[in-house]
Amino acid sequence: MSQPQKIGRRRFLKHIGAGAVAVGASAAGGYGYYQYYYGRQPPKPTPTITQTVSPTPTTPSPTPTPTKLYSLEGRLFFDYNGNGMQDGEEPAVANAKVLLKDNVKNIDKVIAETTTDSSVYYKLDVPNGNYRLFVETDKKFRHMCRSAEEFRLVKYGYDIELNEPKEVNIGMMEGIFTLPYPRKAKILRTLYYFDVDKRNYYTRDWKGGNETYDQHPGTDYSMPISEDIVAAAPGRVNYTMEGQGEKVEGMVLIWHGEVDPFGNSFYSLYGHISKVYRYIGEAVKRGDKIAESGYTGPTRGEEPHLHWSIGGRYESSWIDPYRDVSNPESISYWTVDNKPQYPGA
């Protein structure tokens, strides 16, 4: 076996360098061939994803339904006879303010208001609901009514339930009392008035005259026996007594409830009657026949007459239905100031 040929260090490094160059060239050639044969493929572009967003469907806003309004209308008039209807020459009440207030949540809230003129009418257009109707007018009007069966102080107003067009006519009154007999009664004269002078041995009627007698607690109307006697205001019969000659005075007592702005409850008394046509506890309206005139009980020897008083439960609290013309604080309890009217039309 031949011995391996020894080469020098310089020669060895020369061969190694040549080999390295050959390998590098071969690798470069291979890479170039690869590029030549296959070509350089451009990088695939990242696909752009286009997302189509469907628009959110919009629900059209509903057209608001207009609030339905109902008409509340009527007439305001000076109700001379207190029957809630405008009769004869009863005039309109002009320049009166009519207010409709909430009657459920806020009783002081004004929902609508208007003012009457000489045409009598008022009109308010409001949604359905529960209201309270108030009238603000001349202070002389303390009472109002819608029929001969009732009356009330102006300050309390009327409850109104409105779910359809409605007509509410209101009669305005100064007091609540009409005459205690109908127009057809044969009244001869006013015999005696109420004695407004409370001192003993002094007498004075509401006009400042002396058509009365000392401590007389009512008004006497001279009339024949058996004339119709009627309720001077709506109320409820509180007491009755059939008359029996001079020993037992026939009478009817009617309770009317709260009458004046001071909260006083009033009665009316019909005395010297002969027959009674109502029973205790019965409700009566203005102008209802309650009795017939007579000549019963102590009459002081006067002619047949009706004694009529108004006021509290007892004689000591009776008051004059007329306004004392000499007393600025006095008020009239007639429907028309110091001018008593017949009940009914």
Mind giving me the DSSP string for 182-227? -TTS---EEEE------STT----TTSS--S-TT--SEEEE--TT-
**Does 291 share its domain with 223?**
yes
- Other Cβ atoms within 10 Å of 277 Cβ, number: 18
With respect to residue 193, please indicate whether it lies within any of the assigned structural domains: yes
With respect to residue 298, please indicate whether it lies within any of the assigned structural domains: yes
Average pLDDT, rounded, for the chain: 85
Between CA 144 and CA 344 the distance in angstroms is 15
**Does 160 share its domain with 235?**
no
**Whats the size of the chain, residue-wise?**
345
* DSSP letter assigned to residue 248: B
Mean pLDDT of 201-227: 95
**Of 262, 238, 259, 88, the residue nearest 176 (C-alpha):** 259
**Does 79 share its domain with 159?**
yes
**Of 131, 152, 16, the residue nearest 82 (C-alpha):** 152
Take residue 72 and report the two structure tokens written for it. Answer: 């509340």
Domains held by the chain: number: 2
Take residue 222 and report the two structure tokens written for it. Answer: 């001279």
- Please, which residues bridge with residue 219 across strands? 308
What are the b/e assignments for 314-327, b being 16+ CB within 10 Å? eeeebbbbbbbeee
**Does 159 share its domain with 111?**
yes
With respect to residue 284, please indicate whether it lies within any of the assigned structural domains: yes
Q: What is the CATH number of the domain that holds 165?
A: 2.60.40.10
With respect to residue 327, please indicate whether it lies within any of the assigned structural domains: no
* DSSP letter assigned to residue 316: G
Last residue of a domain, one of 173, 203, 229: 173
**Does 197 share its domain with 310?**
yes
**Does 210 share its domain with 286?**
yes
**Does 165 share its domain with 92?**
yes
Helix (H) or strand (E) holding 14: helix 9-38
With respect to residue 120, please indicate whether it lies within any of the assigned structural domains: yes
Last residue of a domain, one of 147, 173, 199: 173
With respect to residue 60, please indicate whether it lies within any of the assigned structural domains: no
**Does 118 share its domain with 200?**
no
> 86 lies in which domain range?
70-173
With respect to residue 341, please indicate whether it lies within any of the assigned structural domains: no
The dihedral built from the CA positions of residue 152, 153, 154 and 155, taken in this order, carries a sign that is negative
With respect to residue 76, please indicate whether it lies within any of the assigned structural domains: yes
Q: How far is CA 288 from the centre of its chain?
A: 29
Using only C-alpha atoms, the chain has a radius of gyration, in whole angstroms, of 52
pLDDT at 81 over 60: yes
What is the per-residue pLDDT for 309? 97
Between CA 7 and CA 272 the distance in angstroms is 174
- 3-state secondary structure at position 156: helix
What is the per-residue pLDDT for 53? 52
Last residue of a domain, one of 117, 143, 173: 173
pLDDT at 36 over 50: no
Is residue 311 within 8 Å of residue 319, measured between CB atoms?
yes
pLDDT at 26 over 90: no
Give the whole-number percent of the chain exceeding pLDDT 90: 65
Q: Which amino acid is at 193?
A: Y
Helices then strands, counting H and E runs in the chain, come out as 1, 21
**Does 193 share its domain with 315?**
yes
**Does 298 share its domain with 229?**
yes
What is the per-residue pLDDT for 268? 97
Q: What is the CATH number of the domain that holds 198?
A: 2.70.70.10
**Does 153 share its domain with 224?**
no
Take residue 36 and report the two structure tokens written for it. Answer: 């030549």
* DSSP letter assigned to residue 334: B
Is residue 281 within 8 Å of residue 236, measured between CB atoms?
yes
**Does 154 share its domain with 204?**
no
pLDDT at 37 over 80: no
Q: Convert the pLDDT of each residue in 275-331 to its tens digit.
A: 999 999 999 999 999 999 999 998 877 899 999 999 987 778 899 999 999 999 999
**Range from 31-35, 126-130, 283-287 carrying the lowest mean pLDDT:** 31-35
